[in-house]
């Protein structure tokens, strides 16, 4: 589906779509050349020398180089590359992973359970915020990272504007947040990948290229306190409400979180707009100065917003976005994977406005763009951009689930290049990047849904290793998500309450072991309804290992713990305190982190046990 851009031809949109269509046509060949460029640029670095030794590959043709590379360089996990990254962090300037010196490191905070941490060889116990003491997962960030971020954002914007044309010179309400930054022993700056991007020239260029400007000044984005930044984003978004063309965040969680906050602070925001002031809650001098320089008293706008909010409050904020931002064309954010549970709430707030699911990438590399923005989030796929990195795809199979060990959540096969992927097959992505990662496993499971010209379109399935398991049972993040969705349908339809967030834990301390699912809910639900939700979830786990274990009582009844309102915000605060940023936050769906379990168990107000299997 395409509609004409009402602004006439924007040549950059035309150019960037043309560029992408060309490279996707011959994606396999482009990949072979991309690998060659990566290797040429970084030839002679210590890591590659270790595997290639004295072999001189420079005169070799690109396909032979590709086969040689994949046979000589082994698959790696982040733990294998960590010694090199640590040396870079400590100030070793020798060419270890890249020929060009690395000056920035991105922090990737693992928000998953103990199993996953073991996989990456990172210990939460040693993780400390803003210091060089912790063993956080560092990932190199280079000019290439910022450039590809600009490229994918411009590309996706060009596809979106074919379907949802926006006005030039309009504004974007962006719920974006930088993390705290700190220096390593060797003087490198560390922050989340998005933090580096917001501080880069490319972020400014993007606004100029797309002719859409974010409502908030840099002081709000990098304010350091997400609660104050959220208030200012909302205030400025409303101050410019008639100019806002779309509303966005990196992950959907941030938008939902911001509007939940809005429900409590809208009166204060209206007062500030009326008087051109900022309430006492904004204590950051830089943020205050920057926001006060933008706003001036606007009593008529404040009254209009107040009137709308009074009506919206009665409707439980249904259609808040469409009502308060009358010219917004869509809401744009990552809504797939672990963000999928927030899409109902987002839809509620959006009130009929289109939800466009954003692109697929990670701190390590951008991967694919949503080139079909008219599709609902449930159906979105990501067309791989073959110039960004060299991508390999490790086939994953789910057979023999009963007899594989805990670590073997899937049976793996040899990785294949992009040109050899098959529709319907699941894969783990393996990355070779311009930033010095060589055959590094990303840990994401994707499925090939089809092709955009010659490049695969991927469905995001889930993170690997994020599994609930006790003995022969194995449940992925996706399995858990489906189960919780069924349980929460009972809660909404029969209990009239709403699931705010959830996580889980495999309790193995007792000999029998059982799953615990933690729910934060808004509204009152009777115990009878909650018991029904608990039973529904227990009986919805379809994994054969789980069903057999429950029938034989070798796994105990599923436990549903209802936690106090605000508990999941404490979890967010815990991660932010450890160096994460709201922009990249994902609620851990399964945890064995003792600190998080302490927060959850300390906030539990109701415990229910399933009777679905009679035990």
Residues near ligand AMP (CB under 6 A): 108, 334, 336-337, 359-363, 442, 444, 460, 463, 584
Angstrom distance (rounded) from CA 356 to CA 293: 33
What residue is closest to ligand AMP based on CB? 337
Task: Please spell the DSSP secondary structure of 410-465, one letter per residue.
Answer: SEE---EEGGG--TT-EEEEEEEETTS--SEEEEEEEEEEEEETTEEEEEEEEETT
Distances (CA, A) of 524 to 259, 479, 528, 530: 21, 27, 12, 10
Q: Are 590 and 477 in contact (CB under 8 A)?
A: yes
- Nearer Cβ to ligand AMP (214/363): 363
φ/ψ of 361, rounded to 5, equals -165, 180
Least Cβ distance, residue 339 to ligand AMP (angstroms): 6
- Nearer Cβ to ligand AMP (239/342): 342
Least Cβ distance, residue 212 to ligand AMP (angstroms): 21
- Nearer Cβ to ligand AMP (140/337): 337
- Nearer Cβ to ligand AMP (339/563): 339
Could you tell me the two tokens for 66? 């590709």
Least Cβ distance, residue 163 to ligand AMP (angstroms): 18
- Nearer Cβ to ligand AMP (373/545): 373
Least Cβ distance, residue 336 to ligand AMP (angstroms): 4
Q: Are 502 and 494 in contact (CB under 8 A)?
A: no
Least Cβ distance, residue 123 to ligand AMP (angstroms): 19
Angstrom distance (rounded) from CA 269 to CA 172: 19
Least Cβ distance, residue 382 to ligand AMP (angstroms): 6
- Nearer Cβ to ligand AMP (334/599): 334
Q: Would you call 94 exposed, middle or buried from its count of C-beta atoms within 10 A (0-12, 13-18, 19+)?
A: exposed
Tokens 């290229």 label which residue? 209
**What is the distance in angstroms between the CA of the first residue and the CA of the last residue of the chain?**
53
Which of 587, 517, 601 lies closest to 111 in space, CA to CA? 587
- Nearer Cβ to ligand AMP (374/609): 374
Least Cβ distance, residue 584 to ligand AMP (angstroms): 4
- Nearer Cβ to ligand AMP (172/334): 334
Least Cβ distance, residue 432 to ligand AMP (angstroms): 16
The CA radius of gyration of the chain, in Å to the nearest whole number, is: 25
Angstrom distance (rounded) from CA 312 to CA 318: 7
């Amino acid at each position: 589906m395409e509609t004409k851009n009402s602004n006439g031809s924007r040549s950059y949109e035309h150019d960037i779509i043309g560029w992408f269509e060309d490279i996707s046509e011959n994606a396999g060949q482009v990949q072979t050349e991309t690998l060659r460029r990566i290797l040429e640029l970084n030839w002679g670095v210590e890591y590659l020398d270790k595997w290639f030794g004295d072999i001189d590959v420079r005169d070799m043709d690109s396909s032979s180089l590709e086969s040689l590379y994949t046979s000589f360089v082994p698959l790696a996990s982040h733990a294998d590359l960590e010694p090199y990254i640590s040396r870079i962090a400590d100030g070793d300037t020798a060419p270890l992973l890249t020929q060009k010196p690395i000056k920035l490191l991105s922090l990737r905070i693992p928000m998953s359970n103990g199993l996953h941490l073991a996989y990456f060889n990172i210990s939460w116990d040693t993780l400390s915020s803003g210091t060089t003491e912790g063993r956080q997962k560092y990932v190199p960030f280079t000019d290439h990272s910022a450039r590809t971020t600009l490229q994918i954002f411009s590309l996706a914007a060009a596809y979106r504007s074919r379907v949802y044309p926006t006005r030039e010179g309009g504004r974007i309400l962006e719920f974006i947040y930088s993390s705290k930054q700190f220096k390593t022993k060797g003087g490198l700056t560390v922050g989340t990948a998005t933090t580096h991007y917001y501080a880069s020239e490319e972020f400014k260029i993007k606004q100029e290229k797309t002719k859409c400007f974010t409502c908030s000044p840099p002081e709000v984005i990098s304010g350091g306190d997400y609660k104050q930044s959220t208030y200012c984003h909302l205030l400025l978004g409303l101050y410019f409400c008639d100019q806002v063309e779309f509303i966005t965040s990196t992950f959907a969680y941030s938008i939902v979180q911001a509007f939940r906050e809005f429900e409590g602070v809208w009166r204060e925001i209206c007062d500030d707009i009326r008087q051109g002031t900022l309430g006492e809650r904004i204590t950051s001098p830089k943020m205050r100065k920057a926001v006060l320089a933008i706003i001036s008293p606007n009593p008529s706008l404040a009254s209009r917003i107040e009137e709308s909010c009074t009506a919206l409050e009665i409707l439980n904020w249904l259609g808040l976005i469409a009502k308060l931002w009358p010219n917004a064309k869509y809401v744009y954010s990552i809504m797939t994977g672990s963000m999928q549970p927030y899409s109902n709430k987002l839809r509620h707030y959006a009130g009929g406005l289109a939800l466009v699911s954003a692109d697929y990438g990670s701190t390590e590399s951008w991967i694919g763009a949503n080139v079909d923005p008219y599709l609902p989030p449930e159906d979105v796929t990501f067309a791989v951009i073959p110039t960004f990195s060299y991508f390999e795809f490790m086939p994953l199979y789910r057979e023999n689930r009963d007899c594989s060990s805990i670590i073997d959540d899937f049976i793996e096969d040899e990785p294949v290049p992009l040109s050899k992927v098959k529709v319907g097959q699941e894969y783990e992505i393996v990355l070779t990047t311009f930033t010095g990662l060589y055959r590094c496993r990303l840990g994401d499971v994707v499925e090939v849904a089809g092709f955009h010209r010659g490049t695969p379109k991927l469905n995001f399935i889930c993170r690997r290793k994020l599994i609930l398991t006790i003995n022969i049972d194995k449940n992925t993040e996706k399995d858990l998500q489906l189960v919780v969705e069924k349980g929460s349908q009972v809660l909404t339809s029969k209990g009239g309450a709403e699931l705010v967030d959830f996580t889980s834990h495999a309790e193995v301390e007792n000999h029998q072991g059982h799953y615990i699912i933690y729910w934060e809910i808004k509204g009152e639900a009777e115990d009878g309804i909650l018991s029904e939700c608990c039973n529904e979830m227990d009986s919805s786990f379809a994994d054969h290992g789980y069903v057999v274990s429950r029938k034989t009582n070798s796994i105990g009844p599923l436990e549903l713990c209802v936690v106090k309102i605000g508990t999941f915000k404490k979890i967010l605060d815990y991660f932010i305190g450890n160096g994460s940023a709201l922009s990249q936050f994902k609620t851990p769906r399964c945890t064995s982190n003792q600190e998080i379990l302490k927060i959850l168990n300390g906030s539990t107000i109701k415990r229910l046990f399933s009777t679905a299997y009679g035990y």
